Protein backbone atom coordinates (compact mmCIF):
# COMPACT_ATOMS: atom_id res chain seq x y z
CA UNK A 1 0.00 0.00 0.00
CA UNK A 2 1.44 3.35 -1.03
CA UNK A 3 2.15 5.72 1.83
CA UNK A 4 0.67 9.16 1.22
CA UNK A 5 2.59 12.19 2.48
CA UNK A 6 1.24 13.72 5.67
CA UNK A 7 0.14 17.35 5.46
CA UNK A 8 0.96 19.38 8.55
CA UNK A 9 -0.82 22.70 9.10
CA UNK A 10 1.29 25.12 11.11
CA UNK A 11 -0.41 28.09 12.72
CA UNK A 12 0.95 31.00 14.70
CA UNK A 13 -1.18 32.75 17.28
CA UNK A 14 -0.44 36.38 18.30
CA UNK A 15 1.02 37.49 14.98
CA UNK A 16 -0.41 40.95 14.37
CA UNK A 17 1.13 42.22 11.12
CA UNK A 18 1.46 45.98 10.67
CA UNK A 19 0.34 46.46 7.10
CA UNK A 20 0.50 49.50 4.87
CA UNK A 21 -3.26 49.92 4.89
CA UNK A 22 -2.87 51.33 8.40
CA UNK A 23 -1.72 54.56 6.72
CA UNK A 24 -4.68 56.84 6.05
CA UNK A 25 -4.60 58.21 2.50
CA UNK A 26 -5.70 61.80 1.70
CA UNK A 27 -8.74 60.66 -0.26
CA UNK A 28 -11.65 63.03 -0.83
CA UNK A 29 -15.14 61.59 -1.09
CA UNK A 30 -18.27 63.78 -1.42
CA UNK A 31 -21.08 62.95 1.00
CA UNK A 32 -24.40 63.18 -0.90
CA UNK A 33 -27.08 64.96 1.06
CA UNK A 34 -24.64 66.15 3.74
CA UNK A 35 -22.77 68.92 1.94
CA UNK A 36 -19.21 68.20 3.00
CA UNK A 37 -16.42 66.21 1.37
CA UNK A 38 -14.95 63.41 3.45
CA UNK A 39 -11.28 64.05 4.37
CA UNK A 40 -9.63 60.64 4.23
CA UNK A 41 -11.30 57.30 4.91
CA UNK A 42 -14.01 57.78 7.56
CA UNK A 43 -12.89 61.42 7.83
CA UNK A 44 -9.71 60.27 9.56
CA UNK A 45 -6.86 61.89 7.59
CA UNK A 46 -6.49 64.98 9.80
CA UNK A 47 -6.50 62.86 12.97
CA UNK A 48 -3.91 60.57 11.41
CA UNK A 49 -1.57 63.47 10.58
CA UNK A 50 -1.94 64.87 14.09
CA UNK A 51 -1.00 61.55 15.71
CA UNK A 52 1.88 61.05 13.27
CA UNK A 53 3.27 64.51 14.10
CA UNK A 54 3.25 63.59 17.79
CA UNK A 55 4.90 60.18 17.45
CA UNK A 56 7.49 60.48 14.64
CA UNK A 57 10.53 62.11 16.35
CA UNK A 58 12.15 63.71 13.30
CA UNK A 59 8.84 65.01 11.95
CA UNK A 60 8.03 66.56 15.31
CA UNK A 61 11.48 68.18 15.55
CA UNK A 62 11.16 69.76 12.09
CA UNK A 63 7.62 70.99 12.73
CA UNK A 64 8.50 72.51 16.12
CA UNK A 65 11.62 74.17 14.74
CA UNK A 66 9.83 75.54 11.69
CA UNK A 67 7.04 76.94 13.87
CA UNK A 68 9.67 78.80 15.92
CA UNK A 69 11.18 80.24 12.73
CA UNK A 70 7.78 81.31 11.37
CA UNK A 71 6.62 83.05 14.56
CA UNK A 72 9.92 84.92 14.72
CA UNK A 73 11.06 86.99 17.68
CA UNK A 74 8.00 89.23 17.90
CA UNK A 75 4.73 90.03 16.11
CA UNK A 76 2.88 93.33 15.97
CA UNK A 77 -0.55 94.03 14.49
CA UNK A 78 -2.89 96.98 14.32
CA UNK A 79 -5.72 96.98 16.84
CA UNK A 80 -9.13 95.98 15.55
CA UNK A 81 -11.23 99.12 14.91
CA UNK A 82 -13.94 100.04 17.42
CA UNK A 83 -12.55 97.68 20.05
CA UNK A 84 -10.94 98.37 23.42
CA UNK A 85 -8.59 95.37 23.44
CA UNK A 86 -5.03 95.66 24.71
CA UNK A 87 -2.64 96.01 21.74
CA UNK A 88 -2.03 92.58 20.24
CA UNK A 89 -5.21 91.04 21.69
CA UNK A 90 -7.59 89.67 19.05
CA UNK A 91 -10.81 88.80 20.92
CA UNK A 92 -12.75 89.04 24.17
CA UNK A 93 -11.17 85.79 25.35
CA UNK A 94 -7.80 87.56 25.40
CA UNK A 95 -6.00 85.54 22.71
CA UNK A 96 -2.87 87.36 21.56
CA UNK A 97 -1.61 87.64 18.00
CA UNK A 98 1.57 85.77 19.00
CA UNK A 99 -0.44 82.80 20.28
CA UNK A 100 -2.67 82.79 17.20
CA UNK A 101 0.24 82.89 14.75
CA UNK A 102 1.99 80.05 16.58
CA UNK A 103 -1.16 77.89 16.27
CA UNK A 104 -1.62 78.86 12.61
CA UNK A 105 2.01 78.05 11.83
CA UNK A 106 1.70 74.64 13.51
CA UNK A 107 -1.43 73.77 11.52
CA UNK A 108 0.28 74.96 8.35
CA UNK A 109 3.16 72.55 8.93
CA UNK A 110 1.05 69.59 10.12
CA UNK A 111 -1.85 69.82 7.65
CA UNK A 112 -0.71 72.27 4.96
CA UNK A 113 -3.32 74.89 5.84
CA UNK A 114 -5.02 76.81 8.63
CA UNK A 115 -8.30 78.55 9.48
CA UNK A 116 -9.49 81.66 11.35
CA UNK A 117 -12.95 82.35 12.73
CA UNK A 118 -14.04 85.95 12.11
CA UNK A 119 -16.89 87.57 14.06
CA UNK A 120 -18.50 90.88 13.07
CA UNK A 121 -20.45 93.36 15.18
CA UNK A 122 -23.88 94.74 14.35
CA UNK A 123 -22.41 97.39 12.03
CA UNK A 124 -20.49 94.76 10.06
CA UNK A 125 -17.03 95.68 11.37
CA UNK A 126 -14.60 92.98 12.53
CA UNK A 127 -15.08 92.57 16.27
CA UNK A 128 -13.14 89.37 17.06
CA UNK A 129 -10.73 86.95 15.41
CA UNK A 130 -10.20 83.42 16.74
CA UNK A 131 -7.85 80.63 15.76
CA UNK A 132 -9.90 77.67 14.48
CA UNK A 133 -8.41 74.18 14.66
CA UNK A 134 -8.46 73.05 11.02
CA UNK A 135 -8.69 69.35 11.84
CA UNK A 136 -12.18 69.98 13.27
CA UNK A 137 -13.35 71.48 9.96
CA UNK A 138 -14.80 69.89 6.84
CA UNK A 139 -15.86 71.76 3.73
CA UNK A 140 -17.78 71.49 0.49
CA UNK A 141 -16.04 71.08 -2.85
CA UNK A 142 -15.75 74.82 -3.48
CA UNK A 143 -14.56 75.81 0.02
CA UNK A 144 -17.55 78.13 0.38
CA UNK A 145 -19.24 76.37 3.30
CA UNK A 146 -17.55 74.89 6.38
CA UNK A 147 -18.74 72.35 8.93
CA UNK A 148 -17.28 72.24 12.45
CA UNK A 149 -17.31 69.15 14.67
CA UNK A 150 -14.91 67.99 17.36
CA UNK A 151 -15.44 64.31 16.52
CA UNK A 152 -15.83 63.42 12.85
CA UNK A 153 -15.45 59.67 13.38
CA UNK A 154 -18.41 59.34 15.77
CA UNK A 155 -21.78 58.13 14.57
CA UNK A 156 -23.75 60.97 16.14
CA UNK A 157 -21.98 64.32 16.18
CA UNK A 158 -22.80 67.95 16.75
CA UNK A 159 -22.07 69.96 13.59
CA UNK A 160 -22.07 73.75 13.23
CA UNK A 161 -22.15 75.29 9.76
CA UNK A 162 -20.29 78.48 8.77
CA UNK A 163 -19.94 80.41 5.50
CA UNK A 164 -16.59 81.31 3.97
CA UNK A 165 -15.28 84.73 5.04
CA UNK A 166 -15.81 87.63 2.65
CA UNK A 167 -14.51 91.13 3.17
CA UNK A 168 -17.56 93.42 3.30
CA UNK A 169 -17.19 97.18 3.61
CA UNK A 170 -19.47 99.04 6.07
CA UNK A 171 -21.16 100.71 3.09
CA UNK A 172 -22.00 97.40 1.48
CA UNK A 173 -23.02 95.90 4.82
CA UNK A 174 -25.80 98.44 5.04
CA UNK A 175 -27.28 97.18 1.77
CA UNK A 176 -27.44 93.52 2.83
CA UNK A 177 -30.70 91.86 3.82
CA UNK A 178 -31.26 90.67 7.38
CA UNK A 179 -30.71 87.06 6.30
CA UNK A 180 -27.43 87.92 4.55
CA UNK A 181 -26.18 89.77 7.63
CA UNK A 182 -27.04 86.89 9.95
CA UNK A 183 -25.27 84.50 7.61
CA UNK A 184 -22.05 86.56 7.63
CA UNK A 185 -21.80 87.56 11.29
CA UNK A 186 -19.72 84.46 11.98
CA UNK A 187 -17.52 83.08 9.18
CA UNK A 188 -14.38 81.03 8.45
CA UNK A 189 -11.27 82.19 6.60
CA UNK A 190 -9.68 79.06 5.09
CA UNK A 191 -6.08 79.12 3.84
CA UNK A 192 -4.12 76.29 2.21
CA UNK A 193 -0.72 76.04 0.53
CA UNK A 194 -1.93 73.99 -2.44
CA UNK A 195 -5.15 74.49 -4.37
CA UNK A 196 -5.18 71.25 -6.36
CA UNK A 197 -7.54 69.51 -3.91
CA UNK A 198 -10.47 70.35 -1.67
CA UNK A 199 -8.34 69.91 1.45
CA UNK A 200 -4.74 71.00 2.07
CA UNK A 201 -1.75 68.68 1.82
CA UNK A 202 1.30 68.86 4.10
CA UNK A 203 4.73 69.32 2.55
CA UNK A 204 5.76 65.92 3.92
CA UNK A 205 2.89 64.03 2.24
CA UNK A 206 5.40 62.21 0.00
CA UNK A 207 7.36 61.15 3.10
CA UNK A 208 4.45 59.84 5.19
CA UNK A 209 5.68 56.26 4.81
CA UNK A 210 9.09 57.32 6.10
CA UNK A 211 7.47 59.05 9.09
CA UNK A 212 5.47 55.88 9.73
CA UNK A 213 8.62 53.77 9.42
CA UNK A 214 10.39 55.93 11.99
CA UNK A 215 7.43 55.60 14.33
CA UNK A 216 7.50 51.81 13.88
CA UNK A 217 11.24 51.69 14.61
CA UNK A 218 10.62 53.41 17.96
CA UNK A 219 7.75 51.02 18.71
CA UNK A 220 9.92 48.04 17.77
CA UNK A 221 12.67 49.01 20.21
CA UNK A 222 10.10 49.59 22.95
CA UNK A 223 8.54 46.20 22.28
CA UNK A 224 11.98 44.60 22.22
CA UNK A 225 12.29 45.62 25.87
CA UNK A 226 8.76 44.88 26.99
CA UNK A 227 8.17 41.72 24.94
CA UNK A 228 11.54 40.08 24.63
CA UNK A 229 10.27 36.56 23.86
CA UNK A 230 7.81 37.81 21.25
CA UNK A 231 10.46 39.52 19.13
CA UNK A 232 13.48 37.30 19.71
CA UNK A 233 12.39 33.77 20.63
CA UNK A 234 10.38 30.97 19.03
CA UNK A 235 9.00 28.42 21.51
CA UNK A 236 8.04 25.02 20.07
CA UNK A 237 5.82 22.61 22.00
CA UNK A 238 6.52 19.14 20.60
CA UNK A 239 3.63 17.18 22.10
CA UNK A 240 0.84 17.87 19.59
CA UNK A 241 -1.32 20.81 18.51
CA UNK A 242 -3.95 21.70 21.12
CA UNK A 243 -7.25 23.43 20.48
CA UNK A 244 -7.34 27.17 19.76
CA UNK A 245 -8.57 28.18 23.23
CA UNK A 246 -5.88 26.06 24.88
CA UNK A 247 -3.16 27.64 22.69
CA UNK A 248 -4.35 31.11 23.60
CA UNK A 249 -4.35 30.31 27.32
CA UNK A 250 -0.83 28.84 27.17
CA UNK A 251 0.42 31.84 25.24
CA UNK A 252 -1.17 34.27 27.71
CA UNK A 253 0.30 32.50 30.75
CA UNK A 254 3.73 32.24 29.13
CA UNK A 255 3.87 35.95 28.26
CA UNK A 256 2.65 37.06 31.69
CA UNK A 257 5.29 34.98 33.46
CA UNK A 258 8.37 35.34 31.29
CA UNK A 259 8.05 38.21 28.78
CA UNK A 260 8.85 41.85 29.46
CA UNK A 261 11.71 43.77 31.01
CA UNK A 262 10.36 43.17 34.54
CA UNK A 263 10.81 39.41 34.07
CA UNK A 264 14.38 39.53 32.74
CA UNK A 265 16.57 36.82 34.25
CA UNK A 266 13.75 34.55 35.40
CA UNK A 267 14.33 30.81 35.08
CA UNK A 268 11.84 28.77 33.04
CA UNK A 269 11.06 25.21 34.17
CA UNK A 270 9.62 22.61 31.78
CA UNK A 271 8.28 19.18 32.69
CA UNK A 272 8.24 16.58 29.89
CA UNK A 273 7.25 12.92 29.54
CA UNK A 274 10.45 12.24 27.60
CA UNK A 275 13.27 14.01 25.80
CA UNK A 276 11.62 13.70 22.38
CA UNK A 277 8.56 15.63 23.60
CA UNK A 278 10.58 18.38 25.30
CA UNK A 279 9.81 22.01 24.53
CA UNK A 280 12.49 23.72 22.47
CA UNK A 281 13.38 27.41 22.43
CA UNK A 282 15.00 28.82 19.29
CA UNK A 283 16.61 32.23 18.93
CA UNK A 284 16.50 33.29 15.25
CA UNK A 285 19.64 34.94 13.92
CA UNK A 286 19.42 37.82 11.49
CA UNK A 287 22.64 38.80 9.75
CA UNK A 288 23.77 42.42 10.32
CA UNK A 289 20.45 43.21 12.00
CA UNK A 290 21.77 46.26 13.85
CA UNK A 291 23.44 47.73 10.77
CA UNK A 292 20.28 47.29 8.73
CA UNK A 293 18.22 49.13 11.34
CA UNK A 294 20.73 51.97 11.58
CA UNK A 295 20.75 52.35 7.80
CA UNK A 296 16.95 52.32 7.70
CA UNK A 297 16.78 54.92 10.45
CA UNK A 298 19.19 57.24 8.60
CA UNK A 299 17.31 56.79 5.34
CA UNK A 300 13.90 57.61 6.79
CA UNK A 301 15.28 60.65 8.62
CA UNK A 302 16.90 61.97 5.45
CA UNK A 303 13.68 61.49 3.47
CA UNK A 304 11.76 63.56 6.00
CA UNK A 305 14.29 66.39 5.82
CA UNK A 306 14.22 66.19 2.03
CA UNK A 307 10.44 66.63 2.03
CA UNK A 308 10.83 69.83 4.07
CA UNK A 309 13.90 70.96 2.06
CA UNK A 310 15.64 71.34 5.40
CA UNK A 311 19.13 70.84 6.81
CA UNK A 312 19.12 68.58 9.91
CA UNK A 313 21.59 70.84 11.73
CA UNK A 314 19.00 73.63 11.80
CA UNK A 315 16.88 71.52 14.15
CA UNK A 316 19.56 70.30 16.52
CA UNK A 317 20.00 66.95 14.76
CA UNK A 318 23.71 66.52 13.96
CA UNK A 319 24.87 64.87 10.77
CA UNK A 320 28.01 62.87 10.13
CA UNK A 321 29.63 66.07 8.86
CA UNK A 322 31.16 67.28 12.11
CA UNK A 323 32.70 70.27 10.34
CA UNK A 324 29.42 72.20 10.04
CA UNK A 325 30.59 75.77 10.77
CA UNK A 326 28.68 78.81 11.97
CA UNK A 327 28.87 80.34 8.49
CA UNK A 328 27.45 77.16 6.93
CA UNK A 329 24.70 77.20 9.56
CA UNK A 330 23.88 80.83 8.75
CA UNK A 331 23.82 80.03 5.03
CA UNK A 332 21.52 77.02 5.55
CA UNK A 333 19.19 79.09 7.71
CA UNK A 334 19.00 81.92 5.16
CA UNK A 335 18.08 79.41 2.44
CA UNK A 336 15.42 77.72 4.61
CA UNK A 337 14.12 81.11 5.68
CA UNK A 338 13.73 82.22 2.08
CA UNK A 339 12.20 79.04 0.65
CA UNK A 340 10.03 77.84 3.55
CA UNK A 341 9.70 80.33 6.42
CA UNK A 342 9.00 83.57 4.54
CA UNK A 343 6.34 82.01 2.23
CA UNK A 344 4.55 80.69 5.32
CA UNK A 345 4.76 84.10 6.99
CA UNK A 346 3.32 85.73 3.86
CA UNK A 347 0.34 83.36 3.90
CA UNK A 348 -0.39 84.27 7.52
CA UNK A 349 0.09 88.01 6.99
CA UNK A 350 -2.11 87.97 3.87
CA UNK A 351 -4.85 86.21 5.85
CA UNK A 352 -4.99 89.01 8.43
CA UNK A 353 -4.80 91.65 5.70
CA UNK A 354 -7.81 90.05 4.06
CA UNK A 355 -9.68 90.27 7.37
CA UNK A 356 -8.70 93.91 7.93
CA UNK A 357 -9.32 94.79 4.30
CA UNK A 358 -6.00 96.63 3.90
CA UNK A 359 -2.26 96.05 3.67
CA UNK A 360 0.61 96.55 6.12
CA UNK A 361 -1.44 95.77 9.23
CA UNK A 362 0.98 93.19 10.60
CA UNK A 363 4.73 92.68 10.99
CA UNK A 364 6.74 89.61 12.00
CA UNK A 365 10.21 90.29 13.38
CA UNK A 366 12.48 87.59 11.90
CA UNK A 367 13.89 84.83 14.08
CA UNK A 368 17.43 85.75 15.15
CA UNK A 369 19.99 82.95 15.34
CA UNK A 370 21.92 84.79 18.06
CA UNK A 371 21.61 88.00 19.97
CA UNK A 372 23.57 90.88 18.51
CA UNK A 373 26.66 91.91 20.45
CA UNK A 374 26.07 95.15 22.35
CA UNK A 375 29.19 97.36 22.03
CA UNK A 376 28.19 99.34 25.14
CA UNK A 377 28.30 96.27 27.40
CA UNK A 378 31.07 94.33 25.65
CA UNK A 379 33.90 96.30 27.32
CA UNK A 380 32.57 95.66 30.82
CA UNK A 381 32.11 91.96 29.99
CA UNK A 382 35.67 91.56 28.71
CA UNK A 383 37.40 93.65 31.35
CA UNK A 384 40.44 95.88 30.77
CA UNK A 385 42.75 93.11 29.55
CA UNK A 386 40.14 91.58 27.26
CA UNK A 387 39.22 94.94 25.79
CA UNK A 388 42.88 95.76 25.07
CA UNK A 389 43.35 92.38 23.35
CA UNK A 390 40.22 92.89 21.26
CA UNK A 391 41.33 96.39 20.25
CA UNK A 392 44.78 95.10 19.29
CA UNK A 393 43.24 92.44 17.05
CA UNK A 394 40.87 94.84 15.32
CA UNK A 395 43.58 97.44 14.70
CA UNK A 396 46.25 94.95 13.62
CA UNK A 397 47.81 95.62 10.21
CA UNK A 398 49.53 92.24 9.97
CA UNK A 399 46.46 90.02 10.37
CA UNK A 400 44.17 89.38 7.42
CA UNK A 401 40.42 89.89 7.69
CA UNK A 402 39.83 86.13 7.78
CA UNK A 403 42.44 85.71 10.51
CA UNK A 404 40.79 88.44 12.56
CA UNK A 405 37.40 86.82 12.03
CA UNK A 406 38.75 83.45 13.18
CA UNK A 407 40.33 84.94 16.32
CA UNK A 408 37.14 86.80 17.19
CA UNK A 409 35.21 83.55 17.00
CA UNK A 410 37.67 81.42 18.96
CA UNK A 411 38.68 83.86 21.72
CA UNK A 412 35.57 86.00 22.13
CA UNK A 413 32.74 83.94 20.64
CA UNK A 414 31.94 86.75 18.19
CA UNK A 415 30.86 85.30 14.83
CA UNK A 416 28.75 85.94 11.74
CA UNK A 417 27.20 89.38 11.38
CA UNK A 418 28.50 90.49 14.79
CA UNK A 419 32.06 89.87 13.61
CA UNK A 420 31.35 91.69 10.33
CA UNK A 421 30.09 94.73 12.21
CA UNK A 422 33.24 94.93 14.32
CA UNK A 423 35.42 94.50 11.23
CA UNK A 424 33.47 97.11 9.28
CA UNK A 425 32.24 94.57 6.70
CA UNK A 426 28.79 94.43 5.03
CA UNK A 427 26.09 92.75 7.12
CA UNK A 428 23.35 90.50 5.75
CA UNK A 429 20.26 92.62 6.25
CA UNK A 430 17.08 90.83 7.26
CA UNK A 431 14.02 92.98 6.78
CA UNK A 432 10.82 92.47 8.79
CA UNK A 433 8.44 90.21 6.90
CA UNK A 434 5.49 92.21 5.70
CA UNK A 435 3.45 92.04 2.51
pLDDT over 50 (residue 11) = no
The per-residue pLDDT for 47 is 94
Q: Where does the pLDDT of residue 423 fall: very low under 50, low under 70, confident under 90, or very high at 90 and above?
A: confident
Reported pTM: 0.71
Range from 38-47, 257-266, 301-310 carrying the lowest mean pLDDT = 257-266
Model confidence pLDDT, tens digit, residues 386-418: 566 667 777 777 777 777 777 776 666 677 777
The per-residue pLDDT for 351 is 97
Q: Where does the pLDDT of residue 170 fall: very low under 50, low under 70, confident under 90, or very high at 90 and above?
A: confident
Residue of 270, 261, 267 whose CA lies nearest to 228: 261
Beta bridge partners of 74: 365
pLDDT over 80 (residue 81) = yes
d(CA 232, CA 252): 17
Phi, psi of 160 (to 5 degrees): -115, 135
Range from 105-119, 212-226, 253-267 carrying the lowest mean pLDDT = 253-267
Contact 49, 202 (CB under 8 A): yes
d(CA 308, CA 5): 58
Q: Where does the pLDDT of residue 195 fall: very low under 50, low under 70, confident under 90, or very high at 90 and above?
A: confident
pLDDT over 70 (residue 269) = no
pLDDT over 90 (residue 382) = no
pLDDT over 70 (residue 213) = yes
Amino acid sequence: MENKPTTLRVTFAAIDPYIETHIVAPTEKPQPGRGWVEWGERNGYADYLLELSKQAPTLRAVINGTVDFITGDDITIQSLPDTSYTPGVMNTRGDTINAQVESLARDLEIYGGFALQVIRNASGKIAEVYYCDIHFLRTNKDNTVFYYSENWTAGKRKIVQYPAFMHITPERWGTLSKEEKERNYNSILWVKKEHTQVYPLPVYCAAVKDCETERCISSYHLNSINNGFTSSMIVNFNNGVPADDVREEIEKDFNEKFAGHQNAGRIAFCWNDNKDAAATITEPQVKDFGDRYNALSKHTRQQIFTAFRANPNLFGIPTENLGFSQEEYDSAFRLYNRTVVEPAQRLIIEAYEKIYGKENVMEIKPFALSEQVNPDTLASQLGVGGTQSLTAILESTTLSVEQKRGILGVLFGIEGDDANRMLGLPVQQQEPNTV
